[in-house]
Amino acid sequence: MVHPYEKEAKLKDGSRVLLRPMVAEDREKLMAFFQAIPQEERIYLRHDVTDPEIIKSWTERIDYTRVFPLLALAGDRVVGDATLHRIPYGWKRHIGTVRVVVAADYHDRGLGTLLVHEIVELATEFSLEKLWAELPLTAPGALALFRKAGFSSKAVIEGLVKDLHGRNTDVVIMVCDVGAQYG
């Protein structure tokens, strides 16, 4: 499989990763990546990513116009996954939703910021005007990461979601004005 496009990027510690969209052949690599994500982080995801059928469905039904999955690879290993979700019609057609997961050993190395920056840049290519992200108020590192990439907090919804222990937790809504990033 020829990857549609790719780009090498450097992290804060000087190590390099390859950025490229997910392709069908990434199934095994993605499975290994998600299975290594700790349970306390998996709670933020929308699907049970430890279920091989979920990963299979993602890799078999790739549609970049609805979901653009951007992978970061170190050698042959997936170390980060950022997705840009789009709604093709209606009043939210100019808004993309961003989700990011980074391997534990790649935390604090600038990979999350790099991936979110790349998604912000790609949003201009997809004619998106706003990007939306939902983050737990209890994750200051993730909030700072999105802030660095140009997002700002727009609302806090108290007690909206459940944490791992079933406790209600606050959610921060962050929005990025894509065109305003390049002034």
Partner 1 sequence: MKIAVIADIHSNLEAFRAVLHDLAKESVSAMVNLGDLVGYNASPGECVNLAREHRIISIQGNHDRAAVQPRFAEGFNILAHQAVLWSASALNPEQKSFLDSLPHTLLLWDHYLLFHGAPDNSEAYIFYLFQAKKAFDYMRKKMPGVKIAFFGHTHHRALWRRDVRGKVQSLTVTQGIMAVDPEEMCLINPGSVGQPRERQWEASYLIFTTDPPALEFRSVPYDLRGAQTKIREACLPDYLAERLAKGV
Asked if 67 and 52 count as a contact pair (C-beta separation under 8 A), the reply is: no
Per-position b or e across 61-82, b if 16+ CB within 10 A of its CB = eeeeeebbbbbbbbeeebbbbb
Q: How far is the CB of 41 from partner 1 (least distance, A)?
A: 25
CA separation for the pair 112, 63 (Å, rounded): 23
Asked if 116 and 149 count as a contact pair (C-beta separation under 8 A), the reply is: yes
Nearer to partner 1, 3 or 77 (CB): 3
Determine the 3-state secondary structure of 122 from DSSP: helix
| CA nearest neighbour of 155 among 122, 177, 138, 133 | 133
Q: How many CA atoms lie within 13 A of 19 on its CB side?
A: 19
* Size, binding site for partner 1 by CB under 8 A: 24
Interface segment toward partner 1; rule CB under 8 A; list 32-40, 78-86, 118-126, 155-163: 118-126
Work out whether 118 is an interface residue with partner 1 (CB under 8 A).
Answer: yes
Q: How far is the CB of 106 from partner 1 (least distance, A)?
A: 19
Contact residue for partner 1 among 11, 21, 130, 173 (CB under 8 A): 21
Contact residue for partner 1 among 45, 48, 64, 157 (CB under 8 A): 64
Residues within window 164-183 making contact with partner 1, judged by CB under 8 A: 177, 179-180, 182-183
Interface segment toward partner 1; rule CB under 8 A; list 75-83, 107-115, 125-133, 152-160: 125-133
Work out whether 126 is an interface residue with partner 1 (CB under 8 A).
Answer: yes
C-alpha dihedral (156, 65, 126, 54), degrees to nearest 10: 40
Contact residue for partner 1 among 31, 95, 98, 122 (CB under 8 A): 122
For the packed helices 140-148 and 111-125, what is the interaxial angle rounded to 10 degrees?
40
Interface positions with partner 1 (CB under 8 A): 2, 4-7, 9, 19-21, 64-65, 70, 118, 121-122, 124-127, 177, 179-180, 182-183
